[in-house]
């Protein structure tokens, strides 16, 4: 990919880790009046998710699933919950990965895309390379 070519597209979602998914989903539905999805268990990612559908993006509510869930430590540090990651859309996830690696970013989990919550390939980028925020990229 040529240097300077646009890579990231739309904000796909912002993910919030929460200690109680049922309570968080009910709060978004009842207090904020949001449209929410049914809970979806993703054992490969160690989370159960509920999506809050907003007109311009989504909020992904995450609760740990299983003992070695990647968000257990996050919730130990943030017991009330908190912002866990942002997800940007890309056209070609392998091209995006190669460019990121060339630019010095660390790709988590060995660098091979996994299928994410929307059935599309995703990768996660080290928060230390993105100013303290875990970044997910998703091929759309
Ligand atoms: Co996500």
User: What Rg value do the Cα atoms of the chain yield, rounded?
Assistant: 15
**pLDDT at residue 22 in the model:** 98
**pLDDT at residue 3 in the model:** 53
Percent of the chain with pLDDT over 70: 96
pLDDT digits (tens, 9 = 90+) for 9-20: 999 999 999 999
Domains identified in the chain, total number: 1
Whether 4 is covered by a domain: the verdict is no
Task: Reply yes or no on whether 89 is catalytic.
Answer: no
- Of 44, 60, 63, 136, the catalytic one is 136
Q: How many CA atoms lie within 13 A of 50 on its CB side?
A: 22
Answer whether residue 5 shows pLDDT above 50.
yes
- Between the CA of 65 and the centroid of ligand 1 the distance, in Å, is 15
CATH code, domain carrying 18: 3.10.180.10
Chain-wide mean pLDDT for the chain? 94
With CA atoms as reference, report the closest residue to 50 among 23, 70, 93, 21. Answer: 21
pTM above 0.75, yes or no: yes
In this prediction, residues 124-130 reach a mean pLDDT of: 97
3-state secondary structure of 127: helix
Answer whether residue 2 shows pLDDT above 80.
no
Residue 117: pLDDT band with limits 50, 70, 90: confident
Whether 2 is covered by a domain: the verdict is no
**pLDDT at residue 1 in the model:** 47
**pLDDT at residue 58 in the model:** 97
Given a contact cutoff of 8 angstroms between Cβ atoms, the answer to whether 93 and 138 are in contact is yes
- Between the CA of 101 and the centroid of ligand 1 the distance, in Å, is 20
Given phi > 0 = left and psi -120 to 50 = alpha, else beta, which region is 45? Answer: alpha
- Between the CA of 114 and the centroid of ligand 1 the distance, in Å, is 12
Q: Domain range for residue 35?
A: 11-139
In this prediction, residues 21-34 reach a mean pLDDT of: 98
Whether 47 is covered by a domain: the verdict is yes
Whether 94 is covered by a domain: the verdict is yes
Q: Which of 1-5, 26-30, 73-77, 112-116 comes out lowest in average pLDDT?
A: 1-5
Whether 52 is covered by a domain: the verdict is yes
- Between the CA of 119 and the centroid of ligand 1 the distance, in Å, is 12
Concatenating the DSSP letter of every residue in 50-115 gives EEEE-SS-EEEEEEE-STT-TTHHHHHH-TT-EEEEEEEEES-HHHHHHHHHHTTPPBSGGG--EE
């Amino acid at each position: 990919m040529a240097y300077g070519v646009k890579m990231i597209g739309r904000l796909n979602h912002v993910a919030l880790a929460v200690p109680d998914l049922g309570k968080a989903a009910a709060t978004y539905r009842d207090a904020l009046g949001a449209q929410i999805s049914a809970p979806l268990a993703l054992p490969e990612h160690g989370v159960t998710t509920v999506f809050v559908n907003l007109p311009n993006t989504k909020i992904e509510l995450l609760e740990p699933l299983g003992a070695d869930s990647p968000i257990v430590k996050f919730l130990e540090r943030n017991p009330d919950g908190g912002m866990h990651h942002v997800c940007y859309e890309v056209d070609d996830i392998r091209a995006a990965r190669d460019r990121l690696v060339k630019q010095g970013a660390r790709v988590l989990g060995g660098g091979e895309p996994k299928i994410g919550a929307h059935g599309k390939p995703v990768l996660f980028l080290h928060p230390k390379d993105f100013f303290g925020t875990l970044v997910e990229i998703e091929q759309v």
